[in-house]
Structure 1
Amino acid sequence: MRLRWSERSINDLIAIQRHIAQNNPVTAKKWIIKIRQRAKSAADSALIGRVVPEFNQQDIREVFLGNYRIVYRVRDDDILILTVFEGHQLLKL
């Protein structure tokens, strides 16, 4: 399936990179690459992610990378990354 990123998810990645870069710019870049790779693997097997418990809808799923939750919507021809956030935070859509 094709992978698409919402404007919000792109802004999430930027914020994550800036936050990590305050302590280690090299690690920040590596984390963003890993997050993008994890999202791509979700697109390859869209239904592998768990249903997001806050919504309990079959089309809204998530995968994890470390403490980060990558939330996406499964659509007919693609998956749309809705948001990426640190898992100790509350999900807000």
Structure 2
Amino acid sequence: MYKIFVIEDAETDIFEIYRYIHLNESKSRADKFFQKIYEKILSLQKHPERGHPPKELKHLGIYEYLEIVLNPYRIIYRIINKKIFIYCVLDGRRDMQKLLQERLLRFKI
């Protein structure tokens, strides 16, 4: 089984989404979002390869990051030696090309 690490940026993303839903909809809906995102991320422990490279990164020739979707949110992660690193949880309705370049390319060496 793979071990999951949620980096600080992704934790912040989840918190901001939760807060937005809580303020604009309800605490109950925010709690449901958190439960669903938690389950989706944990599901990677058993099936990490089911994700696919984000098309925005493929255009840049970057294939080591994968994504799974909890509509409309995209969970971007990378598998390194039986470890899964969650880098970000982003709203897919935003300018993903720009967001992914800003957020992920700083990790690329």
The TM-score normalised by the length of structure 2 is 0.79
Equivalent pairs counted in the alignment come to 93
Could you list the structure 1 runs, at least 4 aligned residues long, displaced by more than 3 angstroms after superposition: none
- Does structure 1 residue 83 correspond to structure 2 residue 88? yes
**Equivalent residues in 2 for 1:8-87, closer than 5 Å:** 8-22=9-23, 23-56=25-58, 57-87=62-92
Paired letter, 1:48 = R
Amino acid paired to 1:27:
R
Larger helix proportion of the pair = 2
| Runs of 5+ unmatched residues, structure 1 | none
The answer to which structure has the higher strand fraction is 1
For residues 8-60 of structure 1, what are the alpha-carbon distances to aligned partners after superposition, in whole Å with 9 as ceiling and x for unaligned? 00000100000000121111011011011111112321110011112223320
**Unpaired runs of at least 5, structure 2:** 104-109
- How far, CA to CA, are the matches of 1:83 and 1:8 in structure 2? 6
- RMSD of aligned residue pairs (Cα, Å): 1.1
